[in-house]
A and B are shown apart, each in its own frame.
Chain A
Amino acid sequence: MGVARYWRQQDQRYNLGGSKCTICNREFFPSRTMCPICHRRSLGKMEKYHFKGFGKVTSFTVVHDPAPGYRSQVPYILATIELEEGDLVLGQIVDCPPSEVEIGSDVEMVFRKLSEEGKSGTIQYGYKFRLK
C-alpha cells in the first residue's frame, strides 16, 4: 500500500483526532466531513476535536487466529471502547493478560505500533488502550 494511505490519517490514529459538529455539538470518531444528523447544515461547520482517550470496555475478544501481519501479536485483546465523550472506538488492550479485562473495565489510550507490512514495508502506529 502507498504511504499516503496511512499518512493522511495520522492525526486520527495518533491523537484520536475526530470532529465536532458545531450545530448540534456532537463529537465524532473517526472524523467526518458532514454531521450525519445535521446533514447539509453542518457543511463547513465541522471542527477538529481531539478525544481525551479515556473510556470503558463495552465488549472484547481475544484473537488467536489473526489476519496476515498480526501473527507476532497473538494472542491479543481487541475491544470496543465507549469513550468518555460517548463515541465507540475499536482498539487493542495491551500490557495485561486477557483474564484482567472485563466488560466495564476503565481504560486509557496509549500510543503503539499497530502493524508492519513485512520486513521492508512501512510500519503503522496508532492508538491502543491499557487498563487504568
Chain B
Amino acid sequence: MKKLAREVAVIGIGQTKFGEHWDLSFRELGIQAGIKAILDAGIDSKRIDALFIGNMSAGQFLGQEHIASMIAEEVGLTSNQIPATRVEAADASGALAFRQGLLDIASGLHEVVVVGGAEKMSDVTSDIAAGFIAAGADQAWEALFGATLPALYAIMARRHMKEYGTTMEQLAAVSVKNHRHGKMNPFAQYQSEISLETVLKAPRVAEPLGLFDCAPISDGAAALVLCEMELAKEICPCPVRIAGTGQGSDALAITNRPSITEMRATKKASERAYERAGITPKEVDVAEVHDSFSIGEIMAIEDLGFFEKGDGGPATERNDTTFGGVIPVNTSGGLKARGHPLGATGIAQINEIVLQLRRKAEGRQVKDARVGLAHSVGGTGGTSVVHILEVV
C-alpha cells in the first residue's frame, strides 16, 4: 500500500455536551464545538485553510441545507472565503468528514483544516425523528414495508442469536457497560448506570431489541483541528498522528448482502486502516465503535478483528471490553450513553481517542494507551469508516 503523500495530525479537539439542548440552535452547537477545538489547538483562526462538516440530515430536521457555509460564517471563517464542505453518509457523516479533512491535507492542498460534525434532532418529535433516521436505510425496499432502523438491526440481532447463540443478556451487557463508562464522561448525555434487569425489562422497540438497546435521540456537535505533521510538531505540544484510514461500502438494503450477521463494509474498512497503519487488531489499546444498537457493538468488535466471529457477546459478558479487559471499547459511553447526534458522532469518537492518547481522559483513562481506533457506520452498514490514531 502506498503511503499518503503527507502525514497528518490532530492538534485540537472540542465538543458540546450531548443531550437535549432545547436552548441551543444548530448554529450555536456548531460554534461551541468549533471554537473549543480552535482554542484547544492554540492557533490563529487565520491559519485555517478549509472546513468540512459531517451532517446527516439538517434538511429534514431543520429544513436547512447548505450548512457548511452557515457554520463557516458563524465560526468566523468566511472573512477569507475558505472552502467549506458538507459531507454526508447517514450517521457515518462525521467520520467521513474527518477522512475528507485528512485527505485534503495529505494531498498537499491545505495545511490546517477544521472538521466538525453536528446534528440537531430534538426540534422534532421522536417518532418524526425515527422516520428521518430511517432515511439512512433503503426508502423504496425497506422503509416503505415498515422498516425502521431498530427493526433492521433487530433482524440482524435475531439472526446473530440463531447462528452464534448470542443471548439477550449479552446484548444487554453492552448497554450496561456503556452506561458505566458514560458515567465518567462529563459530555455524555447519560451519566448514570443502568442494571442488566432494567435493560432486559424495558419496553421492546423491535424484538428482540428494547429501548435500552438503542442509542438515544440527541443534539450535539464536535470538532477537530487537523494539521500537516511537520507544522503540527512545531506548533502543538501533543499532536496525535492519524496512522490509518479505511472506508468501505456495501448494499444499502440488508437483503442485498450475503450475510446480515457481519458488516462487510466494516471488515474491509478496518483491513485497509490496519494495513495503512501497519498494525494488527491486537495492537489497538482503546476503541470507539458504532453501537447505535447493542448488536452493532457486538458485530463491530468481531468485524474489526478484536474477537472471533460469534464471540462478541461472550467477550462483552466476560468484561473483555471494559477497563482492565482485552480492549476497552467505548470508554466515552459510546453512542448509547454519550448520545448519538448522527453527524457529530464520528467526530466525537475521535475526540475521545485523542483524549485517551493525550492521557487526559481522567477517570476513564486507559493506562498507557498508545494506539486508538474509531469505527463509524452509516445506517445498517452501507458505509463504514475506520481510523487508527497513535501517539507521536
Chain A residues packing against B (C-beta within 8 Å): 9, 13, 30, 58-71, 73, 76, 78-80, 87-92, 98, 103, 114-115, 124, 126, 128
Contacts and interface: CB of A to CB of B under 8 A. Distances in A.
Contacts of A13: 144
A126 B144 contact: yes
Nearest to B130: A67
Question: How large, as a class, is the contact surface on chain B?
Answer: 20 to 34
B128 interface: yes
Interface of B: prevailing SS = helix
Given A62-B206, A78-B147, A90-B147, 6 more contacts: A61-B158, A64-B206, A68-B130, A80-B255, A103-B158, A115-B146
B155 A88 contact: no
* Interface hub of A60, A66, A73, A98 (most chain B Cβ within 10 A): A66
A64 B146 CA distance: 11
B382 interface: no
Contacts of B148: 63, 65-67
A98 B204 CA distance: 14
B159 A103 contact: yes
Interface string B196-208: 0000000111111
Contact of A91 (B127, B145, B206, B256): B145
B207 A76 contact: no
Interface of A: prevailing SS = strand
A68 B125 CA distance: 11
Contacts of A126: 144-145
A13 B139 CA distance: 13
A58 B161 CA distance: 12
B264 to A, nearest CB: 14
B213 to A, nearest CB: 12
Interface string B15-50: 000000000000000000000000000000000000
Contact of A65 (B130, B142, B158, B208): B130
Contacts of B131: 67-69
* Interface hub of A67, A68, A69, A87 (most chain B Cβ within 10 A): A67
6 contacts: A61-B208, A67-B131, A67-B134, A71-B127, A88-B255, A90-B147
B146 A65 contact: no
Nearest to B255: A88
A61 B162 contact: no
A103 B207 CA distance: 14
